[in-house]
Amino acid sequence: MQSEQQPVTILGIESSCDDTSAAVVRDTVLLSNVIASQRVHELYGGVVPELASRAHQQNVVPVVSEAIRQAGIQRSDITAIAFTRGPGLPGSLHVGTSFAKGLALALDVPLVDVNHLHGHVLAHFIKETPDTVVPAFPYLCLLISGGNTQIIRVNNPADMQVLGQTIDDAAGEAFDKCAKVMGLPYPGGPVIDKLASEGNAKAFKFAKPHVGGYDYSFSGLKTSFLYTLRDQLRVNPNFVEQNRADLAASLQHTIIEVLMDKFTRAIRDTGIRTIAISGGVSANSGVRQAVADYAQRHRLTAFIPPRRFTTDNAAMIAIAGHFKYLDHQLCDITAAPFQRVTV
């Protein structure tokens, strides 16, 4: 184990879905973060698992090499290798896991397995400069992505409590599925965000779920959106084309209202004064503004991540691995990836 005086340099590898990424973090300061995206899935309106795993196999070596080069380090400087063990697509995870194991054996350094969701939650601790401000514990994090919507109480990097989560679809899935029904390209979330800035958020009303506690549900909203389009298209075949911006704005407004209703309730009930958002949907302009406005009104400290750290990236895996390494939570070389898990 590294002595306290020596710098801890973590190489992170992320391959949970369709982005191959590698990053180097030294004592929580980011030295490099390289991402290779896969454009092929746009042709199919969603990620094709077999194509994703093949692309990871092609990308992982050059991406890792480039991350090390950009960081200005030697392979011998690496203290440990952190990798995404899950959740994610099995084939994609196997590529990253196998490569991390092989490199760790070759360099004779320890392995650290990272829960992908922990990476998103801890992305706020990535320091681009040594004086970057990071959250104080405890803080409440709203994790919003394509596969997960959760409210998490973060007591420390090793202690996270899920207060509420989606009981069916995630917010990101609602964005993408509704965008697909409208004939918009994949991924639909960013397209909805752009269109929403041009539309009337009060033009259409969609059903909002009534779920107890801090849990979420978005399946009913998706159904309501689909039925609205179906009914209107019967009257006007050009309805979607003529109302695309208003539909996007109304959809986004409704999703944000659902997200903020439970999140603000959790903030009030816990009395925690530091809040954060994370995950791919935290890149959404409306979500970011809603959280920032609420924090300002109630004099809370809010952490809204740079957009480059909202989507899947290895910097968040490296920072989560940094904390696990310091806590002596290492991974056995025989560990297998897992497809599903909660925080």
Question: What does the buried/exposed string (b/e) look like for 255-286 if buried means 16 or more CB atoms within 10 Å of the residue's CB?
Answer: bbebbbebbbebbeeeebbbbbbbbbbbbbeb
Q: Whole-prediction pTM value?
A: 0.93
Q: Do the beta carbons of residue 207 and residue 220 sit within 8 Å? A: yes
What value does the mean pLDDT of the chain take? 94
Q: What is the pLDDT of residues 175-197, one digit of tens each?
A: 999 999 999 998 899 999 999 99
Reported as a pLDDT band with limits 50, 70 and 90, residue 40 is: low
Residue 37 has pLDDT above 80, yes or no: no
pLDDT value at residue 225:
98
Kindly tell me if the per-residue pLDDT of 44 is higher than 80.
no
pLDDT at 156: 98
What does the alpha-carbon distance between residue 231 and residue 249 come to, in Å, rounded to a whole number? 19
- Cα dihedral 287, 289, 292, 294 sign: negative
Mean pLDDT of 319-340: 94
Confidence of residue 210 (pLDDT cuts 50, 70, 90): confident
Rounded Cα gap, residues 247 and 230, in angstroms: 13
